[in-house]
Copies of this chain bind each other. A is one copy, B any other.
C-alpha cells in the first residue's frame, strides 16, 4: 500500500447529481450560502441548468448530513449552526484520533512514517510561502496518513463528515501565521512520539491539538448570532 502525502481529491462522479451536490456543499461550508438561507429546488435547478430531480437528490443527501433542513411543502433551508452538534463533532474526533495515534505508537508502517516526515517538510515550505490553502490541505493529509497507516480508512471518512460541521464554525479556516507555527510543532511532536512509541505523549499532544480553536465558535456566534440555533 502507498501513502499519498498530497492533499486528497475524492473521485466525484461526473453525474449531474454529484456536481450539484459538491457545489452546494462548498457554498454552504464557505458560508457563501449562510445558515438560514432558503433554497429552492426550482431555483437551484435553473441556476445549475438541470432539472429538479438531481437538485432534489442533492438536497436529500445534504439533509442527511445535517447541512440543510427540508420542511415538506414549506421549503429547504441551510441548517443553522448547532453549537451542541459542533461540540459533539469535536468530541468524537478527539476520541477517535486519540485512539488512532495510540495505535500508531504500537504499530505503524515505515512507509507511512516516511509519508508523515515528507508531509512535515512540505508544511515547512508552505509556511514560508504563507500558502494557507496548501497548509490546510497538508494538515488534513497528515491526519489522513495517520488513519490509513493504522488501517482505519473508514474511520477517517466518518471524521471527514463531521468536519463539515466543524469547519463551518471555524471562521473560514483563516488561521494566523502564529497559529500555524503552533500546529506544525504539534504535528512534529506527534510524529516523534510515534517513532519513539511514546503513546502517552502522542495522545496528550493529539488531544491538545484538537482542542484548539474552540473559541472560534464563540467569536462567530457573537458576530453572527442569526447563524446559530436557539438564540441564547
Contacts and interface: CB of A to CB of B under 8 A. Distances in A.
A99 B90 CA distance: 13
B95 A154 contact: no
A84 to B, nearest CB: 7
A175 interface: no
Interface residues of A, number: 23
Given A64-B61, A158-B158, A95 B88 contact: no
A197 to B, nearest CB: 20
Contacts of A155: 88, 91-92
A151 B89 CA distance: 13
Nearest to A99: B95
Interface in A91-108: 91-92, 95-96, 98-99
A60 interface: yes
Contacts of A152: 88, 91
Given A72-B15, A84-B151, A151-B84, A158 B60 contact: no
A179 to B, nearest CB: 26
Interface of A: 13, 15, 57, 60-61, 64, 72, 84-85, 88-89, 91-92, 95-96, 98-99, 151-155, 158
